[in-house]
Chain A
Amino acid sequence: MEAMLFYLVALVSVISAFFVTKCRNPINSALCLVTTFLCLAVFYVMLQAPFMAAIQIMVYAGAIMVLIIFVIMLLNIGSVGKSRYTHGVAGAIVLSFLSFIVAAKFIAGGTVSKAVGDISAEVVQSYGHTELIGKAMFTEFLLPFEIASILLLVAIVGAVILSKRKV
């Protein structure tokens, strides 16, 4: 049952990912990407990380994709007549395939050790995923968390300055 679900969702995600690179119209690409993100959210749930699935949908599918589509609409980019690919398609296919081979070999060749942490499925069940994330975030990773907030602030200011017509 779980395997069936995995293969189905994996198939959908790969196809939709492929169409991200394939579609002539950026809007279609964006919609395909949203599909991929949703598939990934499903995987997160299957991996017992419901909080991550939630923010995957909210941040990626919700915020970032909306922003991208917003820009596409704003710039009024339709499908273009001329080729959407550069001249190096063949090379890019070979390279991508090679990088996949390298990664696969790495995965196949490596041995992943048994569980070393104490966060088992039962623990997640009993405490709740959000609580675990929250505890880690506000204790152990408090400083990176704060730095991330500064990063976001800087990004906002940068975006405003870049997109203003006259500074």
Chain B
Amino acid sequence: MISVYHYMILSAILFAIGSFGVLTRKNMIVIFMCIELMLNSVNLTFIALSRHLGNMDGQIFVFFVMTVAAAEAAVGLALIIAFYRNKESIEVDDFRLLKW
């Protein structure tokens, strides 16, 4: 029988993979996608627990997370485009003006 723990462990695995991507990739768009992956892993936890507890609130939360993710996508991608215009690059190593 698949319990809520299975879902949560799966969610933890996905979250770890997402964080690995964020920490290692240079390409800003890939980093962005990894962040989306992490958000989704959390969404999975929400829905699994919502189901398990018999409460709709978790799913409403997922709804709002999706809203924020959409907004983030819009602004984040706009930022990426603006960066690209300036530097002809979307590699994060090329943006290191804020240093010593």
Contact = CB atoms under 8 A, between A and B. Distances in A.
Contacts of A119: 54-56
A47 B75 contact: no
A118 to B, nearest CB: 6
B24 A89 contact: yes
Interface string B32-60: 11101100100110011111111111011
B12 A68 contact: no
B64 A113 contact: no
A21 B21 contact: yes
Prevailing SS type, chain A contact patch = helix
B49 A112 contact: yes
B74 A155 contact: yes
B33 A99 contact: no
A71 to B, nearest CB: 5
A20 B30 contact: yes
Contacts of B27: 26, 77, 80, 84
Interface string A79-107: 01001111011011101110110011001
A83 B25 CA distance: 9
Nearest to B68: A151
Interface of B: 1-2, 4-10, 12-21, 23-27, 29-30, 32-34, 36-37, 40, 43-44, 47-57, 59-60, 62-64, 66-75, 77-82, 84-85, 90-91, 93
5 contacts: A29-B30, A95-B23, A103-B16, A112-B53, A133-B60
User: Which 5 A/B pairs are nearest by Cβ-Cβ distance?
Assistant: A117-B55, A155-B71, A21-B21, A117-B54, A92-B23
